[in-house]
Structure 1
Amino acid sequence: MNDDMFNELLESVQQADDIIKDQATAARITEFADPEVKAIRTKTGLSQSRFANLLGVSKRTLENWEQGRRHPTGPARALLKIVDADPEYALKALHG
């Protein structure tokens, strides 16, 4: 690594530290909207129990997502996005 690259990296780390300490603001902030879980489930026509089983989560977890007490993350969020985009195909693929 040459000196220019190192100095650029060091400056970037210092900027990140300033942002964390609220001494600077981020140049851009990326936010992702939470999926509308109830609307996605409604598209499938499945009950909460069957939809939760399909996703591999408990019914209670699904209820928490639908009522906004919790938010899906990681693979569950990705799977919800797939189901939202094409419910018929997703259900067919998930049912085997």
Structure 2
Amino acid sequence: MTKRNIGDEMIQGMTQAIEYLRGNEVGAVVHKVEIPDEIDVKSIREELNLSRQEFADSFGFSARTLQHWEQGDRNPHGPARVLLLLLQREPKIIAQILRNDKNNTHSDKKAA
């Protein structure tokens, strides 16, 4: 049985990523995520049956920012858009992940 060298695998992966960014074929599997231009933040929140404050607290947004998104004054960008898309498509999985992360954070603090 051949022993894996994680360091070499990481270097290979980073090399492939750089080559891909340069436009070269690298033989790696590339997954492109299409995020719609319009994300209906209010409908996502309402589908989860959360108040604006509960939604903001649960997923790390400020209530004011959430209000701007819902009123159409501003649009979510970057990681916020991705999180909102995931919440729209798989809300139970995201909630479970965040609950587990919060539980791990608390246990780490107790151990310190």
Smaller-chain TM-score bracket = 0.5 to 0.7
**Which whole-Å CA distance do the structure 1 matches of 2:94 and 2:36 have between them?**
22
What is the percentage of aligned positions where both structures have the same residue? 41
Q: How many residues align?
A: 66
Query: Which runs of 4 or more aligned residues in structure 1 lie more than 2 Å from their structure 2 counterparts after TM superposition?
Result: none
Within the alignment, does 1:43 sit opposite 2:47 as a pair? yes
* Structure of greater Rg: 1
CA contact (8 A) 1:35 1:81 kept: yes
Q: Which residue of 2 aligns with 1:60?
A: 64
CA RMSD, 1 decimal: 1.6
Could you tell me which amino acid in structure 2 is paired with residue 79 of structure 1? Answer: L
**Which whole-Å CA distance do the structure 2 matches of 1:43 and 1:87 have between them?**
9
Residue by residue over 1:40-90, the C-alpha shift from the partner in whole angstroms, topping out at 9 and shown as x without a partner, is 111111111111112212101001101100100000000000000011221
Q: Which has the higher contact order (CA 8 A, sep 6+)?
A: 1
